[in-house]
Amino acid sequence: MFQPASRIANIASPATIAMAARARELKAEGKDIISLALGQPDFASPPQALEGAIEEVRAGHTGYPPIPGQKSLLEAVAHKFKRDNELDVSLSQLMVANGGKQIIFNAFMASIEQGDEVIVPSPYWVSYPLIAQMFGGKAVHVPCYEHNNFRLDPADLAKAITPKTRWIVLNFPNNPTGAILEKSDLEAIAEVIRKAPHVLVMSDEIYEHLTFDGKKHLSLAQVAPDLMDRILIVNGVSKAYAMTGWRVGFAAGPEKLIKAMIKVQGNVSSGICTLAQGGACAALNGNLTEVEAMRNVYEKRRNRAVEFLRAIDGVSCAMPQGAFYAYPGFAAIMNKRTASGRLVTNDVELAEALLEEQHLATVPGSAFGLGPHLRLSFAASEQQLSEAYERLKRFVESFS
Ligand SMILES: Cc1ncc(COP(=O)(O)O)c(C=O)c1O
């Protein structure tokens, strides 16, 4: 009988995926399910991306591509870093992979030894601790608090660093909280990192274009160029350009690390699909008009989401300043019963009850390291969102 290898046996499947799978099952049974569980833009990919992919086919670029990425795409990525982050990077500091997720996989596989610590501020995107664990790494969490708008406190970060720390993961704008870091936060964090020269920093900036209230994303490397030889910037076209299915992520980092990551990828998947590379290249070389149009829509939806959630008795909600998720808290209704008599003691039970009773799929906050919260994506149509919020309100108000 098959037994999974020990490195995999104890690794949980991401709760985001589990929740989406249960929602699909109920849908297949004919239930009217609304899913706000996945981080998937509800927009079409930009037309220039489609054209870029078709161009690749027409040009007959259907053979194995170079492992780090096609030169044209690497040049487009370098141009993006200059345009958006004021960073000068050479092509040898860059690589592309099958999504930002594979960039993270490559980086951790290339660098983590058994017992190394990876500092992951919480709440966090589920994949960092899970991937680190695959390579014997141990996630160390630094809580970010709702009352502080989920911003990372540099003093808390400093306290978590030990001689075994290999990586600090920064993800701002944050999934799931939408928190961002201001220049002063980044300067203080850079000071902490300067004092720990053995530590690498993974700065996941995949939501960089999706910021609200007129705030602009700043990259840590921009604020602290002296740390560039220890920062790996993770990014990709999935979120900003609504290109999740194209599977194109990219990274900029120290040459030696990138070289090791390319070695990993060469043995895992080789260079990524040439058509997707053509599409991503065209998207990055185009202007940011479509991205800005989508950002505008997300901001309006963010405003509505927060207004609606805050108006429900028993729900707290910090203001997300980026990305496309709300992260409301439900402490006030824990250990109470739903209308059908189901006792809810934590956010996993809460998400299950919400799905079963109101057919609304969300993700329990404990999957991201902080409950009792739910993550609600607002990357869905206005009509779906209105109906979803009504269902949530009915659900919460039914507790007694
Ligand atoms: C914070 C964060 N980083 C990276 C990714 C990976 O995105 P992809 O692999 O689609 O590029 C995601 C996707 O949900 C994410 O939320």
Give span(s): CATH 3.90.1150.10, the chain: 6-44+290-397
Q: Is 175 near ligand 1, meaning CB less than 6 Å away?
A: yes
| Nearest-angstrom CA–CA distance, 111 and 260 | 8
pLDDT in tens, 353-398: 999 999 999 999 999 999 899 999 999 999 999 999 999 999 999 9
106 lines ligand 1 (CB under 6 A): no
Q: What's the 3-state SS for the chain?
A: CCCCCHHHHCCCCCHHHHHHHHHHHHHHCCCCCEECCCCCCCCCCCHHHHHHHHHHHHCCCCCCCCCCCCHHHHHHHHHHHHHHHCCCCCHHHEEEECHHHHHHHHHHHHHCCCCCEEEEEECCCCHHHHHHHHCCCEEEEEECCHHHCCCCCHHHHHHHCCCCEEEEEEECCCCCCCCCCCHHHHHHHHHHHHCCCCCEEEEECCCCCCECCCCCCCCHHHHCHHHHHHEEEEEECCCCCCCHHHCCEEEECCHHHHHHHHHHHHHHCCCCCHHHHHHHHHHHHCCCHHHHHHHHHHHHHHHHHHHHHHCCCCCECCCCCECCEECCECHHHCCEECCCCCEECCHHHHHHHHHHHHCEECEEHHHHCCCCEEEEECCCCHHHHHHHHHHHHHHHHCCC
Distance of CA 100 from the midpoint of ligand 1 (Å): 5
What CATH number is given for 6-44+290-397 in this structure?
A: 3.90.1150.10
Which ligand 1 atom sits nearest the alpha carbon of residue 244?
Answer: 10
Distance from the alpha carbon of residue 333 to the mean position of ligand 1, in angstroms:
31
* 201 phi/psi in degrees, rounded to 5: -120, 125
Ligand 1 within 6 A of CB of 100? yes
Residue given tokens 């250990």 in the structure block: 335
CB of residue 217 inside a 6 A radius of ligand 1 = no
pLDDT at 316: 94
Ligand 1, pocket-test mutation among 98, 239, 250, most atoms within 8 A of CB: 239
Residues of the chain scoring pLDDT < 50:
none
For the Cβ of 238 lying below 6 angstroms from any atom of ligand 1, the answer is yes
Distance 163 CA to ligand 1 centre (A): 29
In short, whether 236's Cβ falls inside 6 Å of ligand 1 is: yes
Of all protein residues, whose CA lies closest to atom 4 belonging to ligand 1? Answer: 100
Residue ranges matching CATH 3.40.640.10 in the chain: 48-286
Cα–chain-centroid distance for residue 323? 8
Q: Say which CATH topology domain 48-286 has.
A: Aspartate Aminotransferase; domain 2 (3.40.640)
CA of 206 to the centre of ligand 1 (A): 7
Contact 99 CB / ligand 1 (< 6 Å) = yes
Tell me the HSE value of 342 on the side-chain side, using a 13 A CA sphere. 18
Assess whether the C-beta atom of 206 lies below 6 angstroms from ligand 1.
yes
Q: What is the distance in A from the centroid of ligand 1 to the CA of 1? A: 34
Mutation choice for ligand 1 from 125, 170, 207, CB with most ligand atoms inside 8 A: 125
Q: What is the pLDDT of residue 16?
A: 66
